[in-house]
A and B are shown apart, each in its own frame.
Chain A
Protein backbone atom coordinates (compact mmCIF):
# COMPACT_ATOMS: atom_id res chain seq x y z
CA UNK A 1 0.00 0.00 0.00
CA UNK A 2 1.38 3.38 -0.99
CA UNK A 3 1.11 6.13 1.64
CA UNK A 4 1.08 9.77 0.55
CA UNK A 5 2.63 12.07 3.15
CA UNK A 6 2.45 15.85 2.70
CA UNK A 7 4.96 18.12 4.41
CA UNK A 8 3.27 21.47 4.93
CA UNK A 9 3.26 24.52 7.22
CA UNK A 10 1.46 27.57 5.88
CA UNK A 11 4.38 29.82 6.75
CA UNK A 12 7.53 29.88 4.63
CA UNK A 13 11.07 29.30 5.82
CA UNK A 14 10.23 26.97 8.70
CA UNK A 15 11.94 23.86 7.30
CA UNK A 16 9.49 22.09 4.97
CA UNK A 17 12.03 21.29 2.28
CA UNK A 18 14.74 20.42 4.81
CA UNK A 19 12.24 18.06 6.43
CA UNK A 20 11.00 16.59 3.12
CA UNK A 21 14.60 15.86 2.13
CA UNK A 22 15.61 14.21 5.40
CA UNK A 23 12.29 12.43 5.93
CA UNK A 24 12.26 10.85 2.47
CA UNK A 25 15.95 9.96 2.80
CA UNK A 26 15.32 8.39 6.21
CA UNK A 27 12.48 6.24 4.85
CA UNK A 28 14.63 5.14 1.91
CA UNK A 29 17.49 4.26 4.30
CA UNK A 30 15.03 1.98 6.10
CA UNK A 31 14.47 0.17 2.81
CA UNK A 32 11.23 1.76 1.63
CA UNK A 33 10.89 2.73 -2.01
CA UNK A 34 10.26 6.45 -1.71
CA UNK A 35 9.51 9.34 -4.07
CA UNK A 36 9.72 12.97 -2.99
CA UNK A 37 7.87 15.56 -5.08
CA UNK A 38 8.52 19.30 -5.08
CA UNK A 39 5.15 21.09 -5.39
CA UNK A 40 6.68 24.58 -5.27
CA UNK A 41 6.17 25.32 -8.96
CA UNK A 42 8.13 28.41 -9.97
CA UNK A 43 10.37 28.35 -6.88
CA UNK A 44 11.85 24.87 -6.86
CA UNK A 45 14.46 24.19 -4.21
CA UNK A 46 14.17 20.55 -3.23
CA UNK A 47 16.62 19.70 -6.04
CA UNK A 48 19.26 21.96 -4.42
CA UNK A 49 18.72 20.53 -0.94
CA UNK A 50 18.92 16.98 -2.33
CA UNK A 51 21.98 17.91 -4.40
CA UNK A 52 20.53 16.86 -7.76
CA UNK A 53 20.01 20.31 -9.32
CA UNK A 54 22.34 19.62 -12.23
CA UNK A 55 20.55 16.45 -13.19
CA UNK A 56 17.08 17.99 -13.66
CA UNK A 57 15.85 17.46 -17.21
CA UNK A 58 12.09 17.08 -16.88
CA UNK A 59 9.81 18.14 -14.05
CA UNK A 60 6.39 17.62 -12.47
CA UNK A 61 4.61 19.92 -14.95
CA UNK A 62 6.18 18.10 -17.92
CA UNK A 63 4.75 14.86 -16.53
CA UNK A 64 1.33 16.40 -15.82
CA UNK A 65 1.23 17.72 -19.39
CA UNK A 66 2.35 14.42 -20.89
CA UNK A 67 5.58 15.96 -22.24
CA UNK A 68 7.67 13.42 -20.34
CA UNK A 69 7.10 10.08 -18.64
CA UNK A 70 7.56 9.61 -14.93
CA UNK A 71 10.57 7.39 -15.60
CA UNK A 72 12.20 10.21 -17.55
CA UNK A 73 11.46 12.83 -14.91
CA UNK A 74 12.30 10.93 -11.71
CA UNK A 75 15.88 11.55 -10.57
CA UNK A 76 17.54 8.72 -8.69
CA UNK A 77 19.14 9.95 -5.49
CA UNK A 78 22.94 9.68 -5.38
CA UNK A 79 23.05 8.34 -1.81
CA UNK A 80 20.06 6.00 -1.64
CA UNK A 81 19.12 3.36 -4.19
CA UNK A 82 15.38 3.45 -3.54
CA UNK A 83 14.89 7.21 -3.36
CA UNK A 84 13.66 9.28 -6.30
CA UNK A 85 13.17 13.03 -6.66
CA UNK A 86 10.50 14.63 -8.85
CA UNK A 87 11.46 18.30 -9.19
CA UNK A 88 9.07 21.21 -9.65
CA UNK A 89 9.07 23.31 -12.79
CA UNK A 90 11.06 26.52 -12.49
CA UNK A 91 9.51 28.37 -15.42
CA UNK A 92 5.78 27.78 -15.01
CA UNK A 93 3.36 29.11 -12.45
CA UNK A 94 1.38 27.18 -9.86
CA UNK A 95 -1.85 27.19 -11.87
CA UNK A 96 -0.22 24.74 -14.26
CA UNK A 97 -0.94 22.08 -11.61
CA UNK A 98 -4.37 20.59 -12.28
CA UNK A 99 -6.06 18.36 -9.75
CA UNK A 100 -6.55 15.62 -12.36
CA UNK A 101 -2.90 15.92 -13.41
CA UNK A 102 -1.61 15.59 -9.86
CA UNK A 103 -3.96 12.69 -9.19
CA UNK A 104 -2.67 10.85 -12.26
CA UNK A 105 0.99 11.34 -11.29
CA UNK A 106 0.29 10.01 -7.79
CA UNK A 107 -1.66 7.02 -9.18
CA UNK A 108 1.15 6.19 -11.61
CA UNK A 109 3.71 6.34 -8.78
CA UNK A 110 1.47 3.99 -6.79
CA UNK A 111 1.44 1.54 -9.69
CA UNK A 112 5.23 1.75 -9.87
CA UNK A 113 5.32 0.20 -6.41
CA UNK A 114 6.42 3.13 -4.28
CA UNK A 115 5.88 2.61 -0.54
CA UNK A 116 5.89 6.30 0.29
CA UNK A 117 5.26 9.46 -1.71
CA UNK A 118 6.39 12.61 0.09
CA UNK A 119 4.82 15.86 -1.15
CA UNK A 120 6.90 18.94 -0.33
CA UNK A 121 4.30 21.73 -0.18
CA UNK A 122 4.97 25.36 -1.09
CA UNK A 123 4.36 28.00 1.57
CA UNK A 124 1.01 29.74 1.71
CA UNK A 125 -2.54 28.46 1.40
CA UNK A 126 -2.97 29.04 -2.34
CA UNK A 127 -3.46 26.58 -5.18
CA UNK A 128 0.00 24.95 -5.00
CA UNK A 129 -0.28 24.25 -1.28
CA UNK A 130 -3.82 22.89 -1.68
CA UNK A 131 -2.68 20.61 -4.55
CA UNK A 132 0.12 19.27 -2.34
CA UNK A 133 -2.31 18.27 0.43
CA UNK A 134 -5.38 17.22 -1.57
CA UNK A 135 -4.40 13.55 -1.86
CA UNK A 136 -2.57 13.21 1.47
CA UNK A 137 -3.03 10.17 3.70
CA UNK A 138 -0.88 11.77 6.36
CA UNK A 139 0.44 15.28 6.90
CA UNK A 140 3.51 16.53 8.71
CA UNK A 141 2.90 20.11 9.83
CA UNK A 142 6.26 21.81 10.32
CA UNK A 143 6.16 24.54 12.97
CA UNK A 144 8.74 26.86 14.50
CA UNK A 145 8.34 27.89 18.15
CA UNK A 146 7.24 31.34 17.08
CA UNK A 147 3.79 32.99 17.04
CA UNK A 148 3.28 33.50 13.30
CA UNK A 149 4.36 29.96 12.47
CA UNK A 150 2.03 28.42 15.07
CA UNK A 151 -0.92 30.47 13.86
CA UNK A 152 -0.25 29.54 10.22
CA UNK A 153 0.01 25.88 11.22
CA UNK A 154 -3.46 26.09 12.71
CA UNK A 155 -4.74 27.56 9.44
CA UNK A 156 -3.20 24.79 7.36
CA UNK A 157 -4.68 22.18 9.73
CA UNK A 158 -8.10 23.72 9.06
CA UNK A 159 -7.48 23.50 5.31
CA UNK A 160 -6.43 19.83 5.62
CA UNK A 161 -9.68 19.13 7.44
CA UNK A 162 -11.73 20.98 4.82
CA UNK A 163 -10.10 20.46 1.43
CA UNK A 164 -8.32 17.11 1.42
CA UNK A 165 -9.94 14.31 -0.56
CA UNK A 166 -10.26 12.27 2.61
CA UNK A 167 -12.27 15.09 4.20
CA UNK A 168 -14.41 15.77 1.13
CA UNK A 169 -15.25 12.09 0.66
CA UNK A 170 -15.95 11.57 4.35
CA UNK A 171 -13.25 8.92 4.69
CA UNK A 172 -10.96 8.50 7.67
CA UNK A 173 -9.35 11.94 8.13
CA UNK A 174 -5.78 12.76 7.13
CA UNK A 175 -3.47 11.65 9.95
CA UNK A 176 -1.82 14.78 11.32
CA UNK A 177 1.66 14.98 12.81
CA UNK A 178 3.37 17.98 14.38
CA UNK A 179 7.08 18.50 13.76
CA UNK A 180 8.72 21.35 15.64
CA UNK A 181 11.93 22.63 14.08
CA UNK A 182 14.56 25.22 15.08
CA UNK A 183 13.95 24.41 18.74
CA UNK A 184 16.26 25.92 21.34
CA UNK A 185 15.81 24.28 24.78
CA UNK A 186 17.93 26.89 26.53
CA UNK A 187 15.74 29.73 25.31
CA UNK A 188 12.65 27.71 26.29
CA UNK A 189 14.11 27.29 29.78
CA UNK A 190 14.73 31.05 29.94
CA UNK A 191 11.09 31.71 29.07
CA UNK A 192 12.02 33.30 25.74
CA UNK A 193 10.62 30.60 23.46
CA UNK A 194 7.39 28.61 23.32
CA UNK A 195 7.95 25.06 24.58
CA UNK A 196 6.95 22.03 22.53
CA UNK A 197 4.31 21.33 25.16
CA UNK A 198 2.85 24.82 24.70
CA UNK A 199 2.68 24.34 20.93
CA UNK A 200 1.10 20.92 21.27
CA UNK A 201 -1.46 22.29 23.70
CA UNK A 202 -2.37 25.09 21.30
CA UNK A 203 -2.53 23.02 18.09
CA UNK A 204 -3.75 19.73 19.66
CA UNK A 205 -1.81 17.51 17.27
CA UNK A 206 0.37 14.58 18.29
CA UNK A 207 4.12 15.41 18.19
CA UNK A 208 6.18 13.46 15.68
CA UNK A 209 9.43 15.10 16.67
CA UNK A 210 11.41 18.11 17.76
CA UNK A 211 14.43 19.13 15.67
CA UNK A 212 16.88 21.35 17.55
CA UNK A 213 18.13 24.59 16.03
CA UNK A 214 21.37 23.46 14.50
CA UNK A 215 24.27 24.77 12.46
CA UNK A 216 24.42 21.50 10.57
CA UNK A 217 21.21 22.25 8.67
CA UNK A 218 22.87 25.13 6.82
CA UNK A 219 26.06 23.12 6.33
CA UNK A 220 24.02 20.29 4.84
CA UNK A 221 22.16 22.55 2.44
CA UNK A 222 25.45 24.20 1.41
CA UNK A 223 26.64 20.78 0.27
CA UNK A 224 23.36 19.47 -1.15
CA UNK A 225 23.07 16.45 1.13
CA UNK A 226 20.05 16.10 3.44
CA UNK A 227 21.04 16.79 7.06
CA UNK A 228 20.04 13.26 8.10
CA UNK A 229 23.30 12.15 6.43
CA UNK A 230 25.42 14.28 8.83
CA UNK A 231 26.22 11.36 11.12
CA UNK A 232 26.19 11.87 14.89
CA UNK A 233 24.83 15.41 14.73
CA UNK A 234 21.80 16.33 16.85
CA UNK A 235 19.70 17.28 13.83
CA UNK A 236 20.39 13.98 12.04
CA UNK A 237 19.67 11.96 15.18
CA UNK A 238 16.45 13.90 15.74
CA UNK A 239 15.33 13.13 12.16
CA UNK A 240 16.20 9.44 12.65
CA UNK A 241 13.95 9.48 15.71
CA UNK A 242 11.20 11.07 13.60
CA UNK A 243 11.43 8.18 11.13
CA UNK A 244 11.32 5.63 13.96
CA UNK A 245 8.23 7.22 15.51
CA UNK A 246 6.55 7.53 12.13
CA UNK A 247 7.08 3.78 11.65
CA UNK A 248 5.47 3.12 15.02
CA UNK A 249 8.52 2.70 17.26
CA UNK A 250 8.56 4.11 20.79
CA UNK A 251 11.16 6.88 21.03
CA UNK A 252 11.23 9.46 23.81
CA UNK A 253 11.93 13.02 22.65
CA UNK A 254 15.61 14.01 22.69
CA UNK A 255 17.35 17.40 22.47
CA UNK A 256 14.50 19.13 24.30
CA UNK A 257 16.17 19.61 27.68
CA UNK A 258 18.01 22.59 29.04
CA UNK A 259 21.80 22.29 28.92
CA UNK A 260 23.31 24.03 31.93
CA UNK A 261 25.75 26.72 30.80
CA UNK A 262 29.21 27.11 32.33
CA UNK A 263 29.98 29.45 35.23
CA UNK A 264 31.29 32.33 33.08
CA UNK A 265 28.20 32.31 30.93
CA UNK A 266 26.00 32.31 33.98
CA UNK A 267 27.81 35.33 35.41
CA UNK A 268 27.96 37.42 32.30
CA UNK A 269 25.03 36.17 30.22
CA UNK A 270 25.26 35.62 26.51
CA UNK A 271 23.70 33.09 24.24
Chain B
Protein backbone atom coordinates (compact mmCIF):
# COMPACT_ATOMS: atom_id res chain seq x y z
CA UNK B 1 0.00 0.00 0.00
CA UNK B 2 1.47 3.37 -0.94
CA UNK B 3 1.76 6.39 1.34
CA UNK B 4 -0.82 8.21 -0.78
CA UNK B 5 -3.44 5.52 -0.34
CA UNK B 6 -2.69 5.44 3.39
CA UNK B 7 -3.40 9.18 3.60
CA UNK B 8 -6.79 8.78 2.03
CA UNK B 9 -8.01 6.16 4.45
CA UNK B 10 -7.90 2.39 4.51
CA UNK B 11 -10.21 0.26 2.47
CA UNK B 12 -11.43 -2.88 4.25
CA UNK B 13 -8.89 -5.69 3.91
CA UNK B 14 -10.19 -8.10 1.30
CA UNK B 15 -8.26 -11.08 2.72
CA UNK B 16 -10.26 -10.83 5.95
CA UNK B 17 -13.48 -10.74 3.94
CA UNK B 18 -12.34 -13.82 1.99
CA UNK B 19 -11.57 -15.73 5.18
CA UNK B 20 -14.94 -14.97 6.72
CA UNK B 21 -16.84 -15.95 3.56
CA UNK B 22 -14.88 -19.19 3.25
CA UNK B 23 -15.44 -20.18 6.87
CA UNK B 24 -19.18 -19.72 6.48
CA UNK B 25 -19.61 -21.52 3.17
CA UNK B 26 -17.29 -24.40 4.06
CA UNK B 27 -18.99 -25.00 7.42
CA UNK B 28 -22.32 -25.03 5.60
CA UNK B 29 -21.10 -27.43 2.91
CA UNK B 30 -19.50 -29.80 5.43
CA UNK B 31 -22.76 -29.97 7.40
CA UNK B 32 -24.69 -30.64 4.22
CA UNK B 33 -22.40 -33.48 3.24
CA UNK B 34 -22.53 -35.21 6.62
CA UNK B 35 -26.32 -34.89 6.94
CA UNK B 36 -26.84 -36.47 3.55
CA UNK B 37 -24.54 -39.27 4.66
CA UNK B 38 -26.22 -40.30 7.89
CA UNK B 39 -29.94 -39.65 7.35
CA UNK B 40 -30.82 -42.71 5.22
CA UNK B 41 -28.88 -44.98 7.58
CA UNK B 42 -30.61 -43.46 10.61
CA UNK B 43 -33.99 -43.99 8.97
CA UNK B 44 -33.24 -47.67 8.24
CA UNK B 45 -32.06 -48.33 11.77
CA UNK B 46 -35.06 -46.56 13.30
CA UNK B 47 -37.38 -48.73 11.24
CA UNK B 48 -35.57 -51.84 12.48
CA UNK B 49 -35.77 -50.86 16.14
CA UNK B 50 -39.37 -49.68 16.09
CA UNK B 51 -40.49 -52.73 14.16
CA UNK B 52 -39.39 -54.86 17.11
CA UNK B 53 -42.12 -53.33 19.24
CA UNK B 54 -44.86 -52.14 16.96
CA UNK B 55 -45.89 -52.93 13.45
CA UNK B 56 -45.13 -49.90 11.32
CA UNK B 57 -45.06 -49.23 7.66
CA UNK B 58 -41.54 -48.08 6.63
CA UNK B 59 -43.16 -45.13 4.86
CA UNK B 60 -44.61 -43.93 8.14
CA UNK B 61 -41.22 -43.07 9.55
CA UNK B 62 -39.82 -39.80 8.31
CA UNK B 63 -36.50 -38.27 9.29
CA UNK B 64 -35.49 -34.79 8.33
CA UNK B 65 -32.87 -32.24 9.27
CA UNK B 66 -33.82 -28.60 9.31
CA UNK B 67 -31.44 -25.71 9.66
CA UNK B 68 -32.44 -22.59 11.46
CA UNK B 69 -30.25 -19.59 12.14
CA UNK B 70 -27.93 -20.92 14.79
CA UNK B 71 -29.05 -24.49 15.39
CA UNK B 72 -30.31 -27.53 13.59
CA UNK B 73 -33.45 -29.54 14.29
CA UNK B 74 -33.49 -33.25 13.70
CA UNK B 75 -37.12 -34.18 13.23
CA UNK B 76 -38.33 -37.77 13.46
CA UNK B 77 -41.99 -38.40 12.65
CA UNK B 78 -43.40 -41.84 13.36
CA UNK B 79 -46.96 -42.53 12.50
CA UNK B 80 -48.36 -45.52 14.34
CA UNK B 81 -50.98 -47.63 12.59
CA UNK B 82 -54.56 -47.35 13.83
CA UNK B 83 -55.56 -49.99 16.32
CA UNK B 84 -57.95 -52.57 15.16
A191 to B15, Cβ gap below 8 A? yes
Q: Which residues of A contact B (CB under 8 A)?
A: 146-147, 150-151, 154-155, 158, 162, 188, 190-195, 198, 201-202, 265-270
A202 to B19, Cβ gap below 8 A? yes
A151 to B22, Cβ gap below 8 A? yes
Q: How far is the CA of A267 from the CA of B13 in the complex (A)?
A: 20
Q: 0/1 per residue, B28-55, Cβ < 8 Å to A? A: 0110010001000000000000000000
B1 to A269, Cβ gap below 8 A? yes
A154/B4 contact (C-beta < 8 A), A147-B22, A191-B14, A192-B15 known: no
Give me 21 A-to-B residue pairs in the complex whose CB atoms sit less than 8 angstroms apart, sorted by A's number. A146-B18, A150-B22, A150-B26, A151-B22, A151-B26, A151-B29, A154-B26, A154-B29, A162-B37, A190-B1, A191-B16, A192-B14, A194-B15, A194-B22, A195-B15, A198-B18, A198-B19, A201-B19, A202-B19, A266-B3, A269-B2
B4 to A269, Cβ gap below 8 A? yes
Q: How far is the CA of A192 from the CA of B21 in the complex (A)?
A: 14
Decide yes or no whether B73 CB sits under 8 A from chain A. no
Q: Which residues of B contact A (CB under 8 A)?
A: 1-5, 13-16, 18-19, 21-23, 25-26, 29-30, 33, 37
Residues of A within 8 A of B23 (CB): 202
Q: How far is the CA of A265 from the CA of B2 in the complex (A)?
A: 7
Residues of B within 8 A of A190 (CB): 1
Known: A162-B37, A194-B18, A194-B19. 19 other contacts (CB 8 A): A147-B22, A150-B22, A150-B26, A154-B26, A188-B15, A191-B13, A191-B15, A191-B16, A192-B14, A194-B22, A195-B15, A198-B18, A198-B19, A201-B19, A265-B2, A266-B2, A266-B3, A267-B2, A270-B2
Q: How far is the CA of A242 from the CA of B37 in the complex (A)?
A: 35
Residues of B within 8 A of A195 (CB): 15
Q: How far is the CA of A195 from the CA of B37 in the complex (A)?
A: 32
CB nearest neighbor in A for B21: A147
Residues of B within 8 A of A147 (CB): 18, 21-22
A268 to B29, Cβ gap below 8 A? no
Residues of A within 8 A of B29 (CB): 151, 154-155
Which 7 A-B pairs give the minimum distances between C-beta atoms? A269-B2, A191-B13, A198-B19, A154-B26, A191-B15, A147-B18, A267-B3
Minimum C-beta distance from A150 to chain B (A): 5
Q: How far is the CA of A267 from the CA of B16 in the complex (A)?
A: 25
A193 to B2, Cβ gap below 8 A? no
Residues of A within 8 A of B22 (CB): 147, 150-151, 194, 202
